[in-house]
Amino acid sequence: MDPIESMRVDRWLWVSRLVKTRALGAEAVKAGRVKVNGQPCKPAKEIRAGDSLELRNGELRISVVVRGIVRMRGSARVAAVLYDETDESRELRERLSAERRAANQQQLPGGGARPTKRDRRRFEEARERGQRG
């Protein structure tokens, strides 16, 4: 990939695969969920290598330091080289992921597996008994 000096922040978010589409990147910037060097910005803000960027998505906050800028979107391997995630951001993301997994396992019968046909029949029997009486 051909490195360049600067790029719009909304496009860089898409190229680095932090958002799925460039439109979602522009929307996040306009909504104030993206800060460059600690300051809110507009989608046309030019970023360069060495800038710090914070992206908020719900309770998740991803903080990265821009390491490179490339002209076109490439593979996930190329995108992973474009930034370094901060240690605090990585720890928060992993903790939230573990909490989400634990919550999902508690909700599903069998400790996280999909309900089996037998489980479904038991649920339906219990529901019918509850409606009868």
Q: What residue ranges do the domains of the chain occupy?
A: 1-85, 87-133
DSSP 8-state symbol, 114: P
Q: CATH fold of 1-85, please?
A: 3.10.290
Query: What is the structure's pLDDT at 2?
Result: 61
Count CB neighbours of 114 within 10 A.
Answer: 9
- Kindly report, residue by residue over 41-50, the tens digit of the pLDDT: 999 999 999 9
* Three-class SS state of 79: helix
- Kindly report, residue by residue over 96-120, the tens digit of the pLDDT: 999 888 887 766 555 556 788 998 8
Rounded to 5°, angle at Cα 62 from 59 and 63: 135
* Three-class SS state of 85: strand
